[in-house]
Structure 1
C-alpha cells in the first residue's frame, strides 16, 4: 500500500469517523460526487494550462494530471454503470469554495494560491480514499487504494509549483488554507459529499 504518512502530517486533521460512517451508508452519493470531482479536477488543470501558456512545467504537469483525472472519471463512471447507479448532477459541497474565496487577486498571487488549494484538495482526496478503503467491498476498496499513488503525486506537483512561482516562502499561505480546510472538514455540513464536513 502507498505510504501517505506525509499527507496525513501535512493536513491539520483526519477525516472524522462520523463522515466515514455516513459515506459507507450512502455510497451512491459518494460515487456520483467522486466522479464529478475527477471531472472538475481535470477542468481545473486545463484552466491552469490555458492561463499559463508560457510556463512549460505547468503545461507538462497539468497535462498529465488532467489525463489521469479523466481516466479516473471514466473508471468511476464504469463502477456507477456496473452498480446501476445513474450519473447525475448534484449540488456541490462548499468545501473548495471555502478556500477559493480567500485566494488573492494579483496574477502571480492568484496562481500561487490556486496551486496551494489544488495541493490541499488532492491531499484530502488521498486521505479520504485511504480512510474509506477498509470499510468498502473488495472492488471499491481495491480501486480506491489504487488511486493513492497518483493523488499523492498530484498533491506534491501542485505544492512544488506553488513554491516555484511564489516570490516568498509559501508556508504562511499554506497555513491559511489548511486552517480553512480543517474548519470545513470538522464543521457540521448538511450535505454528504466526498469532501464534505461532519454530517448533520
Structure 2
C-alpha cells in the first residue's frame, strides 16, 4: 500500500492557520512562489553536491523542472491579480527542520532528503486543505499541484533509504517531532509553512 501524505505527516495543519490563510492571499501566494523557487534550488544543489548518485540526479532533475514550472504558474496568478512579487523573509519552518541535519556523510545526505520529504508532504497537505477555502482559480490550481507534487515526498524518501542503505524510520521520527512542533506552536509570522498565528 502506497504511503499517503497523511500517513507520513505527524499532524494536520491547525484550523487556526487555515482560517487566516484566505484573508492574506497575497502573502500566501508570494511566499508559495518563493517556496517553489527554493525547492528547485534545493534539487539543483543536491545534484551539484552528489553528482555520483545517478538515481538522485534523475529524480532531482525532474523535480527541479517541475518546481520551476510551478513557480512560473504562481507568478502568473500573482501578476493577474495585481499583486507584487517581492522578496520576503522566509518562515522558520525549513530552517527549523534543517537544524536536525547531521554534519557528516552519509548522515547529512540522508537527513537532507528526509527533510525534503517533510517539506514536500506538508506543502501537499496544505494545498489539499486550502482547496475548498479559496476561490476557483487558486483552489483549482492547488488541486492540480496536489496531483503532480504528491510524488515528490516519496521520491525524497526513497532516495533517503538508498543513501542509508536501509530504512530511515529513526530519522523520520526525529524530524516528525520537530515538524509537528513547528506546525502547531504559535508563530508571529504568517507564511505558507508557518505555525499557528500568534
Same fold (TM over 0.5): yes
Aligned twin of 1:98: 96
After the TM superposition, which residues 86-165 of structure 1 pair with which residues of structure 2 at under 5 Å, given as runs? 86-165=84-163
- Residue ranges of structure 2 left out of the alignment (5+ in a row): none
Aligned twin of 2:193: 195
Aligned twin of 1:50: 48
1-structure distance, mates of 2:177, 2:169: 12
2-structure distance, mates of 1:107, 1:5: 27
Aligned twin of 2:12: 14
2-structure distance, mates of 1:50, 1:6: 29
- Call closer, same or farther: CA 1:140–1:86 in 2, change over 3 Å: same
Aligned twin of 1:32: 30
TM-score normalized with structure 2 length: 0.97
Alignment partner of 1:170 out of 162, 168, 171: 168
2-structure distance, mates of 1:13, 1:193: 18
1-structure distance, mates of 2:103, 2:142: 35
Q: In angstroms, what is the RMSD of aligned CA positions?
A: 1.2
Structure 2 SS opposite 1:147 = helix
- Residue ranges of structure 1 left out of the alignment (5+ in a row): none
1:62 and 2:60 aligned: yes
Count of residues in Structure 1 that have an aligned counterpart in Structure 2 = 197
1:128-159 deviation per Cα after TM superposition (whole angstroms, max 9, x unaligned) = 00000100101111100001122210000000
Shift of 1:9: 1.6
TM-score normalized with structure 1 length: 0.96
